[in-house]
C-alpha cells in the first residue's frame, strides 16, 4: 500500500512537471518524442498507484469491482502504449508514425497509440462506473470519486495540451497532479504501520 501511495505522489509531481515540459515543447526546446517519453513516466506511476486503490477497495457490488478493474486496465494500457511508442522507438531504426509523415514507420508506434486510446476509453467507461460507486460508499471521500471520474480527461489533457503555453497547462496539469498527490496521501494514511 505504501508503494502505491508513493507512486501516486511521485506521479502527481511528475504530471505537474509535465506542464514545464509542454512549455518547453511550445517554445521549441523539446521535441514531440521527448515530451511523450516524459509523459510515460507519470502514466506508469499512476498505474502502480491506482493498483493500491484497487487492492484497498473491496466492494461487494460487482459493478464497482468491474469499474475499478477497468480503470486499472485503462491506466495500464495508456502507460504501456505510451512507453511502447516513445521508449520502444529508441531501439528501432524507423521513426514514429508522427515523424514518418505517411512513410515507413515503426509498427510499435501505431500499436502503442492504439493501446493508449483503448486505455483512454477504458478510463472513461470504468471511471464513470467506479466514481458512482465510490460516491455511494460512505468510507470514501467524494473527491476520490471525482478524481476517478475525470481520470480519462486528465490523461487525455497530456496529449491535447502537449504544445501549449504554461498559463494553459499549469492549471489543468496542476489540478490533475494535485488529485494524485491527495490520493497518495490518503493511501499512506490508510496503510498499516
Quickly list DSSP for 119-135: HHHHHHHHHHHHHHHHH
- Residue pair 133/63 in contact (Cβ under 8 Å)? The answer is yes
Query: Of 64, 31, 69, 12, which Cα lies nearest the Cα of 186?
Result: 12
pTM over cut 0.85: yes
pLDDT tier for residue 3 given thresholds of 50, 70 and 90 = very high
Q: How far apart are CA 111 and CA 122, in angstroms?
A: 16
Domain parsing of the chain, residue ranges: 2-190
SS3 of residue 58 by DSSP: coil
Q: What is the DSSP string of 147-189?
A: HHHHHHHHHHHHHHTTT--HHHHHHHHHHHHHHHHHHHHHHHH
- Cell numbers at residue 135, please? 460516491
* Residue 7 pLDDT exceeds 80: yes
Across the range 144-151, mean pLDDT stands at 92
pLDDT band at 100 (very low <50, low <70, confident <90, very high): low
Query: CA-to-CA distance for 87 and 147, rounded, in angstroms?
Result: 28
Instruction: With a cut of 70, say whether residue 98 has pLDDT above it.
Output: no
Task: Decide if pLDDT at 137 tops 80.
Answer: no
Q: What is the pLDDT of residues 43-58, one digit of tens each?
A: 999 999 998 887 777 7
Instruction: Give me the pLDDT at residue 193, please.
Output: 62
Over residues 82-95, mean pLDDT: 84
Answer whether residue 191 shows pLDDT above 80: no
Amino acid at each position: 500500500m505504501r508503494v502505491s501511495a508513493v507512486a501516486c505522489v511521485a506521479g502527481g509531481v511528475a504530471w505537474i512537471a509535465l506542464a514545464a515540459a509542454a512549455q518547453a515543447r511550445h517554445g521549441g526546446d523539446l521535441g514531440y518524442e521527448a515530451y511523450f517519453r516524459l509523459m510515460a513516466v507519470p502514466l506508469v506511476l499512476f498505474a502502480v498507484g491506482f493498483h493500491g486503490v484497487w487492492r484497498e477497495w473491496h466492494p461487494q457490488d460487482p459493478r464497482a469491482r468491474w469499474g475499478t478493474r477497468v480503470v486499472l486496465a485503462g491506466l495500464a494500457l495508456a502507460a504501456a502504449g505510451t512507453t511502447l511508442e516513445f521508449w520502444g522507438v529508441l531501439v528501432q531504426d524507423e521513426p514514429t508514425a508522427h515523424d514518418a509523415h505517411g512513410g515507413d514507420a515503426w509498427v510499435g508506434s501505431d500499436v502503442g497509440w492504439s493501446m493508449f486510446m483503448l486505455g483512454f476509453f477504458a478510463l472513461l467507461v470504468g471511471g464513470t462506473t467506479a466514481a458512482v460507486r465510490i460516491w455511494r460508499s460512505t468510507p470514501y471521500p467524494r473527491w476520490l470519486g471525482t478524481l476517478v471520474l475525470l481520470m480519462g480527461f486528465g490523461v487525455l489533457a497530456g496529449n491535447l495540451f502537449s504544445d501549449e503555453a504554461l498559463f494553459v497547462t499549469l492549471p489543468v496539469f496542476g489540478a490533475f497532479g494535485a488529485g494524485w498527490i491527495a490520493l497518495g496521501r490518503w493511501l499512506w494514511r490508510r496503510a498499516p504501520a
